[in-house]
Amino acid sequence: MEPLGIYIDRLRDERDLSLRELAKRLDCSAPFLSDVIHGRRYPSDEMMTKIAKELGVKESELREHDLRPPIDEIRRRSLADPQLAMAFRTVIDKNVSGEELMKFLEHVRSGKAPKK
């Protein structure tokens, strides 16, 4: 399944809308919309509604492409497990990429030590 930003960008392109034109119709800035498309930012619930309406898709269909885990679940787990909260903070502080983290987890699951 396509991530949210890629899906929005594909729909935008299929409707022959420029990024600037879509941003104007959504009443947001082109840099904000670009950040959404590139996965650097995520739209609010209100903006998701606007995007779905403007691109002519159901909001539920758009949300299916939002692959982030629910923030409430992350908070709940972090509060219940201080080591998990510290791990999240460390990943953020050290600017670990998603790719690096996934490689590390693959090594952990396989029982092999990560290569340096």
Rg of the chain over all Cα atoms, to the nearest angstrom: 18
**Which tens digit of pLDDT belongs to each residue from 48-73?**
999 999 999 999 999 999 887 777 67
Q: Determine the 3-state secondary structure of 4 from DSSP.
A: helix
Q: 83 or 13: which carries more pLDDT confidence?
A: 13
DSSP string covering 85-106: HHHHHHHHHTT--HHHHHHHHH
Between CA 11 and CA 67 the distance in angstroms is 17
Mean pLDDT of 16-31: 97
Mean pLDDT of 96-102: 86
* End-to-end alpha carbon distance in the chain: 32
All domains in the chain, ordered by first residue: 4-63 (1.10.260.40), 71-110 (no CATH)
Residue 48: per-residue pLDDT: 95
Residue 6: per-residue pLDDT: 95
